[in-house]
Amino acid sequence: MSGHSKWHNIQGRKNAQDAKRGKIFQKISRDLYQAAKAGDPNPDNNPQLRLVMEKARAANMPKQNVQRAIDKATGAGGANFEEITYEGYGPGGVAVMVFCLTDNKNRTAAAIRSAFTHSGGSLGANGSVSYMFNRLGLIEILRDGLDKDEDEVLMDALEAGADDMKATDDKFQIFTDPSAMTAVRDALQEQGYELDTAEVTMIPENKTQVPADKVGQYQHLIDELENNDDVADVYEAAYIAE
């Protein structure tokens, strides 16, 4: 029995690691798609795509996964992928937006609706929760190995054209107008900064706490959405109290 228990524990840890790796690959795939869609699919001519491909290599993402994401953007292989955003309310009424890339809208719509329903939430109409989010450019720089303090980074970011910056214990988050993100990114890279993230994303204006008795349902909703191959990103206007 002890051997079985040990195998079970090891298998459980492996499954958890695989799930975490899958979510990382999913986010990188989304970033690859967007970078290739917005610019040249050749990384030599597309700094944003080159940045994401470097992250893919660092995460040991298989080359076929990288190529598949780029093929989605270019239409290679004959598949036509559409970008669709779903808006809804999770358990406790918290706002959730789901960004999807799909070659079958009916399949995706049914899966997203099912995820919300199973978790005690509901899909809403277009615009029902999007007004709670701001579309912003987000650039993140890790503190580790950086030889500049917060004031220096802030000044460099502002001179590059950024609008605001937030500092956390491990990173600097720089916010820009969506149309200015590329220019700010390039300016910071020219100054020698190594960027961890450079993307246009949705930032909630405010976050609502998930009710304590709804936390399990909410986590189930987010997990089900993120494990769906058609889901590229999930934006949440919610937080869970520690």
CA dist 242 and 224 (Å) reads: 22
Among 23, 4, 19, smallest CA distance to 232 is for 23
Mean pLDDT of the chain, nearest integer? 87
CB contact at 8 A, 131 and 204: no
Q: How confident is the model over 181-201, as pLDDT tens digits?
A: 989 999 999 999 988 888 888
pTM (two decimals): 0.75
Number of domains into which the chain is organized: 3
Parent domain of 124: 82-131+207-239
CA dist 161 and 187 (Å) reads: 9
- 22 with 125, same domain: the answer is no
- 213 with 116, same domain: the answer is yes
- 39 with 72, same domain: the answer is yes
What is the pLDDT tens value at each position of the chain, 242 positions in all? 445 555 455 555 555 555 566 778 877 887 888 888 877 888 888 887 888 888 888 888 899 888 888 888 887 766 677 889 999 999 999 999 999 888 899 999 999 999 999 999 999 999 999 999 999 999 999 999 899 999 999 999 999 999 999 999 999 999 999 999 989 999 999 999 988 888 888 999 999 999 999 999 999 999 999 888 888 889 999 999 87
Structure tokens at 214: 């709804």
CA dist 42 and 40 (Å) reads: 5
- 6 with 40, same domain: the answer is yes
- 40 with 69, same domain: the answer is yes
Q: What proportion of the chain, given as a percentage, has pLDDT over 90? A: 53
- 41 with 155, same domain: the answer is no
- 213 with 196, same domain: the answer is no
For residue 124, which amino acid is it? G
| CATH code, domain carrying 179 | 3.30.70.980
Q: How confident is the model over 83-129, as pLDDT tens digits?
A: 899 999 999 999 999 998 888 999 999 999 999 999 999 999 999 99
CA dist 91 and 121 (Å) reads: 5
